[in-house]
Structure 1
Amino acid sequence: MRHDPTFIGTVRDVHGATITVELSNDTVTGLGFVHGKGYRIGQVGSFVRIPLGFVDLYGVVSQVGAGAAPARDQERQAYGNRWVTVQMVGEGQRGGRFERGISQHPTIEDRVHIVIEADLRAIYGSGDPQDFVSVGHLASAESIPSLVNINKLVTRHSAVVGTTGSGKSTTVAGLLNALSDPEQYPSARIIVFDIHGEYSKALVDRAAVFRVAADETRGQQALHVPFWALSFEELSALAFGTLDDGNGAKTAAVADALVQLKKDALKSQPREGIEESQVTADTPIPFCIHKLWFDLHQREHQTVMAKPGEAQDELVPAYALGADGQPMQLGDAMSVTPPAYRTVKSSGPKTEQIHWSQSPPPLALRQQLAGLASKLRDPRLAFLFNPGDWRPDIDGKTGKDLDKLLEDWIGGPKPITILDLSGIPAPILNELIGALLRVLYDAIFWARNLPEGGRERPLLMVLEEAHAYLSKENSGAAAAAVRRIAKEGRKYGVGMMIVSQRPSEIDSTILSQCGTIFAMRLANDTDRGHVTSAASDSLKGLFEMLPVLRTGEAIIVGEAVSLPVRTLIAPPPLDRRPDSIDPRVVERGDLTEGFQGLGGWNQHCDSSDYSVMVRQWRKQSPHYDHIKPTANDNEE
């Protein structure tokens, strides 16, 4: 029989999806040549093919050497430790389509071959070209693109994990560039939750950027999150903190007051699709939170006295009086100015006595109301409590409704929306992300059968630095929203891409829902174990390569790829990389654009202008606008 140059050995043991192969005496481990091209033989992560009639079975080498030998043969080393362990992953008809999973198993003495470039092209190029997007090329064959199934990548969820410096952010930028190609996917819809403001530069030509401290000269738009779009639980956590008093009386009273304000606002400005009788504390109807604070403040602080010249059972507010006998401060809801009341006085004539108001009775909410007043005045939270055109007036009327907000975020002309959350105060970040996810998901869920819904036009949510708010110990709003999307999102066209440098800190329930994993360099054993257990393919040997992957290289496993594949992700151009590149300690060249001088510890620094540093700190913006600060800048 004519020698087949692809033949490497025969099957000696079959255990489920794991087989053991004994290499042929003629097989030389290392580099072999087939049809003039070199292939690595017996390398972990390489592919093998087992012909069975008209079907070819495919597997991935997970272990090589003595450890791969069957137990009964460990003492027999007639030809050295020439054993290979292979994990079976799929099969394909000769000249036909490759499919994951196997319908039959190999048997003893079946011949095993290396997979050559022609086989790889058949595997990775199978299927409808419109269903696949190229994200780079195979690490073992630069001429073969690495294709992922965009349908399964988006709707079945995915995760990009890798240690700091592994090229994770650049990989995400490269993936988003591929998924938002205007020629191939003109109606792509992607929203990025950017915790550190890294992606604006990388996606500048195809992304709309929303930021709290927006820089309009750079094309950024102001980020507004209307508080009245949140559920009662979300708003309560952000506005009041803890309301629970054991019996729920405070929560119920605040909810009742909120519902009444929403009903009053609905009378002033009717909204299509909702009647007054249908309004609940969670209904996204505008209401004036300043009026809610003012009414509750009066309930807690108001003192009363008998109305002068009238019957003593008629009580009026006991405002503090000035020298002219007029009330000193009646208070104003919109400016968060509380009214000033006279102190309680139980002695003297009844017409001069001052009592606490008992109608309605106080709720012991003084501490929470003081906190809410502080938040309503805080300019850092203006995006939430004073949201521009979405800010209700005292009657609950707004200039814009949620349809315009959703259109800006997921219906604009650009395929990607970046919500730059770098200016959000850290204490509320978790609750805010949870609220944003819930708002978007609810909108998509109820519009699932409309052209704007997820079934007609799926939405991909990219969650950067996910370990910061999806940890196992975290039971906040963000984790709850992500769990819901992970379990239900596929049916309604909402997918997630979780990005993290510490996968071990992410709730395993969430990570296990990711159908596709892009695993980059991970040196930590705990992180690798977490990824291995979450992956849909049992390929322990393949994941053992994670500590030695190159920067920008990933092992892709899961539903979106035909076979687990080691890929070099195509990065964006140098001037379009995320703003997350490691600074150089020793380097020649200019500092960050806009500054004069040479960077690095090995260069001389003649002068420094720290007033510019303070100016940018106060502006809460990393972008230097080339304008020399004035004396006024130092006083702002």
Structure 2
Amino acid sequence: MPAQELLGVVTDGSFSQGLRVRLLDPAAVERLRVGSFVVVEGDEHRYFGMVTDLALATTDSALTADPPLHSPFLHRVLRGTHAYATAEIRPSLVLQAGSEQPQPARTIPPHFARLRQATAEDFACVFGREDATHFALGTPPAMDIPVPLDLEELVKRSNGVFGQSGSGKSVLTRLLLAGLILADRVSVLLFDMHNEYARAPSDQPELIGLAELFGTTRVQVYTLDDRTDRSAAARTIQIGLDQIEPEDIELLAEELNLNPTFATVAHHLRASFGKHWIAETRALDADGVKEFCARTGVAESSVNALRSKLARLVQRPYMQESLDTSIIDEIIAKLQKGTHIIVQFGRYDSFLDYMLVANLLTRRIHERYTEEVLEAQRLGSEMSIRPLVIVLEEAHKFLTPEAARQSIFGTIAREMRKYRVTLLIVDQRPSSIDREILSQLGTKIIGPLSDQQDIEAVLTGVADRSGLRNLLANLSPRQECVIVGHAVRMPVAIRTREYRRHELLDLVRTRTGKATDERRLRLLIGE
């Protein structure tokens, strides 16, 4: 081992608490940082781990009581001998002699095992190299080595992107979605509440949108507001009142200020009037309400209260009394062919609009996917259904402990990939999300969080919570995050790669090449 690579030696520690390393170079403590990826060379194995803490220590308490303030000579003599620095290391993986793949660490190295900085080869051994199914979101904060995510592992489960407001969640999500679209293993359905993913904002032209990056044959925009996207490829969404079921508004109880009995009333109305239950309910006069209540035993006050609340839905401009064709069928068909869909909301960006449309579309899509998967299993045919990732911003509105038990989003998160549909939830308040849902997420990409409740929540179901808690507390306010879960073999802190228009366009051209033209041809001829 070259002398300049040696940082220190293991002096003590335990498997449960981690290793303490005495740093040999007095200046090494300033070069390392909490979250650094390091390697410990044991006698028989190589250990990969992360720096979880840095500390200063002395061999003589007199030095702390009376430090040599005015003697540079004593500084040089004592530093590194009687006054020294230590690093706490948490080994996560071990590469055994003769093996090519690291495994979870189940032992620790002996005394005086050597600590060194990780090299590009070490990163490749642990995280792999960028290729068709590995995409790097960034590099370690103090190094320039890409750290790829295993996208095939990522899409097997629901995942989450978390971070406080202003920490760069949307840019991080854009990068992740660009990687998924490039890999072409899944289709993406993105509910874009703030209209920021399809095209670059006018004041930030460098933040190229996904529709601009990949073209409208691969990424198509649907919008509730025809003023949002005036391109010829954009489609306007209209929803028929006859498409709405009582389950679609159960998630809106808080937004509509519905009383606890509304679900029972709504289901009685649906059973009585069929798919036109909302229009028929709105058309009831006083005698009609009394007749309905006498027949069903429902209180008149409850029916009238629900009629009043439903008026807010009926008045939405994108609502029609009835539609002959379903935009949902069109969206599903495109998702199955590999087109990625962005649903924008334009002027209709209240939580009522967002939650109604996202819930309605997702519930129908999940029903269709479930039917097709079960039919394929019944026939014993090859599973040809293209997997789907649904991207959900402001996820805490859909996945509170109360809502998660009954919402379609809670069902999808718990099913993992049973019916080929998973979630990518994007949120700044993980403490408001059901803990069971958080524990089911396969990979978490965590940016800065200032609230301790949010930090505790986001680490639900994660091993070594104390070490990661310390790491999260030391992230820079922007462009840094921690990745933990199935898409990486061990937790890692990264600095997010720059989201630059020309670099991403070059990346797409390099990765896709002729495959892009072939794909467009298949879409044009309907294959």
TM bucket normalised to smaller:
0.7 to 0.9
Q: Displacement, 1:231?
A: 4.3
User: Among residues 374, 393, 400, which one is paired with 2:311 in the alignment?
Assistant: 374
User: Among residues 116, 119, 122, which one is paired with 1:119 in the alignment?
Assistant: 122
Looking at secondary structure, tell me which structure has more helix per residue.
Answer: 2
User: Among residues 390, 396, 403, which one is paired with 1:467 in the alignment?
Assistant: 396
Q: Is this contact kept in 1: 2:10–2:110, CA < 8 A? A: yes
Q: Which moved more, 1:156-165 or 1:501-510?
A: 501-510
Q: Is this contact kept in 1: 2:222–2:341, CA < 8 A? A: no
Query: Equivalences for 1:124-273 in 2 at 5 Å?
Result: 124-125=127-128, 129-142=131-144, 144-181=145-182, 184-185=183-184, 188-201=186-199, 202-205=209-212, 206=214, 207-215=219-227, 217-218=230-231, 219-235=233-249, 250=265, 253-258=268-273, 261=274
Supply the distance in 1 between the matched residues of 2:422 and 2:86 (Cα, whole angstroms): 42
Q: Say yes or no: does 1:440 pair with 2:377.
A: no
Q: Is this contact kept in 1: 2:36–2:50, CA < 8 A? A: yes
Q: Displacement, 1:4?
A: 4.5
Paired position in structure 1 for 2:387:
458
Q: Displacement, 1:62?
A: 0.4
Amino acid at match of 1:91: V
Paired position in structure 2 for 1:531:
458
Paired position in structure 2 for 1:299:
288
Amino acid at match of 1:256: A
* CA displacement, residues 565-594 of structure 1 (integer Å, 9 cap, x when unaligned): 2223234335999xxxxxxxxxxxxxxxxx
**For 1:512, what is the secondary structure of its paired residue?**
helix
Supply the distance in 2 between the matched residues of 1:117 and 1:504 (Cα, whole angstroms): 36
Cα 1:157–1:100 shift into 2, 3 Å: farther
Q: Is this contact kept in 1: 2:328–2:365, CA < 8 A? A: no
Supply the distance in 1 between the matched residues of 2:298 and 2:128 (Cα, whole angstroms): 70
Paired position in structure 2 for 1:65:
55
Q: Is this contact kept in 2: 1:434–1:478, CA < 8 A? A: no
Q: Say yes or no: does 1:560 pair with 2:497.
A: no
Query: Equivalences for 1:223-622 in 2 at 5 Å?
Result: 223-235=237-249, 250=265, 253-258=268-273, 261=274, 287=276, 289-291=278-280, 293-294=282-283, 299-300=288-289, 364=300, 367-368=304-305, 370-371=307-308, 374-375=311-312, 377-380=314-317, 382-383=318-319, 385-386=320-321, 391=322, 398-400=324-326, 403-408=329-334, 410-411=335-336, 414-420=339-345, 423-427=348-352, 429-430=354-355, 432-448=357-373, 456-471=385-400, 475-476=402-403, 480-533=407-460, 535-538=462-465, 540=467, 543-549=470-476, 551-573=478-500
Supply the distance in 1 between the matched residues of 2:46 and 2:462 (Cα, whole angstroms): 24
Amino acid at match of 2:156: T
Supply the distance in 2 between the matched residues of 1:576 and 1:364 (Cα, whole angstroms): 63
Q: Which moved more, 1:91-100 or 1:454-463?
A: 91-100
What runs of 5+ residues in structure 1 fail to find an aligned partner?
A: 32-39, 262-285, 303-355, 393-397, 578-636
Cα 1:467–1:498 shift into 2, 3 Å: same
Cα 1:79–1:480 shift into 2, 3 Å: farther
Q: Is this contact kept in 2: 1:158–1:496, CA < 8 A? A: yes
Supply the distance in 2 between the matched residues of 1:247 and 1:533 (Cα, whole angstroms): 32
Amino acid at match of 2:238: H
Q: Is this contact kept in 2: 1:90–1:563, CA < 8 A? A: yes
Cα 1:87–1:458 shift into 2, 3 Å: same
Query: Equivalences for 1:19-30 in 2 at 5 Å?
Result: 19-23=18-22, 26-30=24-28
User: Among residues 50, 71, 75, which one is paired with 2:40 in the alignment?
Assistant: 50
Q: Displacement, 1:454?
A: 8.5
**For 2:48, what is the secondary structure of its paired residue?**
strand
Q: Is this contact kept in 2: 1:504–1:526, CA < 8 A? A: yes
Q: Displacement, 1:378?
A: 1.3
**For 1:164, what is the secondary structure of its paired residue?**
coil
Cα 1:153–1:226 shift into 2, 3 Å: farther
**For 2:102, what is the secondary structure of its paired residue?**
strand
Amino acid at match of 1:488: E
Q: Identity, % of aligned pairs?
A: 20
Q: Is this contact kept in 2: 1:63–1:85, CA < 8 A? A: yes
Cα 1:477–1:373 shift into 2, 3 Å: same
Amino acid at match of 2:365: L
Q: Displacement, 1:478?
A: 8.9
* CA displacement, residues 340-381 of structure 1 (integer Å, 9 cap, x when unaligned): xxxxxxxxxxxxxxxx9988999626514642673575143x
Paired position in structure 1 for 2:86:
83
Q: Is this contact kept in 2: 1:50–1:111, CA < 8 A? A: yes
Supply the distance in 2 between the matched residues of 1:546 and 1:115 (Cα, whole angstroms): 23
Paired position in structure 2 for 1:13:
12
Q: Displacement, 1:490?
A: 2.5
**For 1:140, what is the secondary structure of its paired residue?**
coil
Supply the distance in 2 between the matched residues of 1:494 and 1:422 (Cα, whole angstroms): 29
Supply the distance in 1 between the matched residues of 2:327 and 2:363 (Cα, whole angstroms): 17
Q: What's the TM-score, normalizing by structure 2?
A: 0.73
Q: Is this contact kept in 1: 2:398–2:407, CA < 8 A? A: no
Supply the distance in 1 between the matched residues of 2:474 and 2:146 (Cα, whole angstroms): 24
Q: Is this contact kept in 2: 1:241–1:368, CA < 8 A? A: no
Q: Is this contact kept in 1: 2:404–2:434, CA < 8 A? A: no
**For 1:217, what is the secondary structure of its paired residue?**
coil
Q: Which of these two proteins has the greater Rg computed from alpha carbons?
A: 1
Q: Displacement, 1:257?
A: 0.9
Amino acid at match of 1:198: E
Supply the distance in 1 between the matched residues of 2:102 and 2:367 (Cα, whole angstroms): 35
Cα 1:153–1:165 shift into 2, 3 Å: same
Q: Displacement, 1:60?
A: 0.8
Supply the distance in 1 between the matched residues of 2:435 and 2:57 (Cα, whole angstroms): 30
* CA displacement, residues 542-577 of structure 1 (integer Å, 9 cap, x when unaligned): 744545425222222222113322223234335999
Supply the distance in 1 between the matched residues of 2:452 and 2:426 (Cα, whole angstroms): 19
Cα 1:108–1:465 shift into 2, 3 Å: same
Q: Is this contact kept in 2: 1:160–1:497, CA < 8 A? A: yes
Residues paired across the two proteins, number: 463
Cα 1:453–1:460 shift into 2, 3 Å: farther
Amino acid at match of 2:396: H
Amino acid at match of 1:300: V
What runs of 5+ residues in structure 2 fail to find an aligned partner?
A: 66-79, 200-208, 505-527
Amino acid at match of 2:424: M
**For 1:82, what is the secondary structure of its paired residue?**
strand
* CA displacement, residues 211-237 of structure 1 (integer Å, 9 cap, x when unaligned): 211236234322234454554333577
Supply the distance in 2 between the matched residues of 1:6 and 1:434 (Cα, whole angstroms): 54
Supply the distance in 1 between the matched residues of 2:460 and 2:263 (Cα, whole angstroms): 43
Supply the distance in 2 between the matched residues of 1:529 and 1:296 (Cα, whole angstroms): 52
Cα 1:576–1:28 shift into 2, 3 Å: closer
Q: What's the TM-score, normalizing by structure 1?
A: 0.62
* CA displacement, residues 193-219 of structure 1 (integer Å, 9 cap, x when unaligned): 222222221222343222211236234
Amino acid at match of 1:86: I
